[in-house]
Each structure stands twice: as C-alpha cells, then as structure tokens.
Chains A and B, each alone.
Chain A
C-alpha cells in the first residue's frame, strides 16, 4: 500500500471549512484513498473514500487531484465535535481482507 504524508496538526475556527491535505505520490492505479478520524479515546470512524472522482457524503467531501498524487478532505462547516485526529490511508480494494495501515494522522483542533 502507498505511503501517505499528512501535516501533524491544524487549527480551524468553528463554522469555517476545514481542509485537510494528504500526499500519496506513490499511489497505484488500483488504490483507493480512505479517510478515518478518531475522536479522543474512541474507536476510529470511517468518513469517506474515493478512487479518482471527487466524492461527497453527509460528513465530508473528498477532492482528489487529477494525477491522484494528493487529496483533500473538506469538512464544510467545522464544529467543536470535529476536533479529532484524521487519518488518510491508501489501499487497494478487494483482496482477502481490507487491511489498513494507519500513520500518525493530522490532529485537527476546532476552536471558537
């Protein structure tokens, strides 16, 4: 699975959009980009994933560059409850098990 690079921390004002970047320059054509987050002491929570098209769900939007070497997770109106560590993970779909390799992620702090 491709390695990802994320900034260790970011701040965002409540109500503003939070844009979390991720670099995955060695991504292969059959690898998806997944985003998870972990709120303090809780189990990680799936947010969104995509292959090459931009994706949106009720939680967030995922923007993947045309060359697929980087992506951005967008939380359109961040709230205090979005304070968490966000993990960007790249992996192939399918296979015998969808093993995930977590890095250290980006710690997002949402402030008033």
Chain B
C-alpha cells in the first residue's frame, strides 16, 4: 500500500471553529489532492497541489484553503467550519508512471469530520 496517512481519522467540531486536516506521504509523489465524499455522491475534488507551494482549486473549493510547505505534507483548512462541511475527506497522491504514462492516484484512509 502507498504510504499515505491522514490525521485525525475522526473529528467532531462545532460550527464556526477552524479545522485543519493533515495528509502525509512517504512516496515523494509530486501531486497531492483533497477530495470530499458525501452520501449519494462520488468523490469531489476540493484542492490539489502540483508541487511545493503550488496549489489550485478543484470543483468544490469554497470554504477551504490548503498549504503545502514540503513535499510530504498537504494540509486542508476549514477556516470556519459549517454543517455543510460534514463529510469524509480523502487525500490522494500521484506521480507519472513512466511505463504506462498514467497518473494513477493512491488514496489515504480518510478523515470523517462532523460539524455540529
């Protein structure tokens, strides 16, 4: 399994509080991603990174910010958590596969966040 960890794995927080989720990788992959998954939906991309300090928005980025100060860590911050941000958050990493020209993504175990 790819070396990807997420912390915390579970968190309950109150509306209006800031929350930071951490994704840590040991694979030295260039690309990192944050997705959220809600019941009845597939995964939706929040933000992604294509290198240290290089990030961009995904399809559901409102209310979220990210930072990547080193290759192995990608942080997702909810500046002021809302109940609509209750979700399961997945981190993923990828790198170009020189043999297949693909960019397979490998996912972490997820963080279940509940905003009350």
Residue in contact with A100 in the complex, picked from B40, B45, B96, B110, CB distance below 8 Å: B45
- Contacting pair B43 A102 (CB below 8 A): yes
Expressed in whole angstroms, the Cα–Cα distance for A30 and B50 within the complex equals 21
- Set of chain B residues within 8 Å of A43, measured between Cβ atoms: 90, 92, 107-110
A97: interface (CB < 8 Å): yes
Expressed in whole angstroms, the Cα–Cα distance for A94 and B96 within the complex equals 8
B residues neighboring A (CB under 8 Å): 31, 33, 35, 40-45, 48-50, 56, 58-59, 88, 90, 92, 94, 96, 100-110
- Contacting pair A45 B107 (CB below 8 A): yes
Expressed in whole angstroms, the Cα–Cα distance for A44 and B45 within the complex equals 13
Q: A87-B42, A101-B59 are in contact. List 12 more A-B contacts (CB 8 A).
A: A41-B110, A43-B110, A44-B107, A45-B107, A46-B105, A49-B102, A97-B48, A99-B48, A102-B42, A104-B40, A104-B42, A105-B42
**Nearest neighbor of B49 in chain A, beta-carbon distance:** A97
- Set of chain B residues within 8 Å of A34, measured between Cβ atoms: 102, 104
- Contacting pair A49 B100 (CB below 8 A): yes
- Contacting pair A99 B58 (CB below 8 A): yes
The interface centre, meaning the residue of B35, B102, B110 with most chain A CB atoms within 10 A of its CB, is B102
Over the window 30-50 of chain A, the binary record of Cβ atoms lying under 8 Å from chain B Cβ atoms (1 yes, 0 no) is 001010100001111110010
B83–chain A nearest beta-carbon distance, Å: 21
- Contacting pair A102 B106 (CB below 8 A): no
Expressed in whole angstroms, the Cα–Cα distance for A102 and B43 within the complex equals 6
**Nearest neighbor of B110 in chain A, beta-carbon distance:** A43
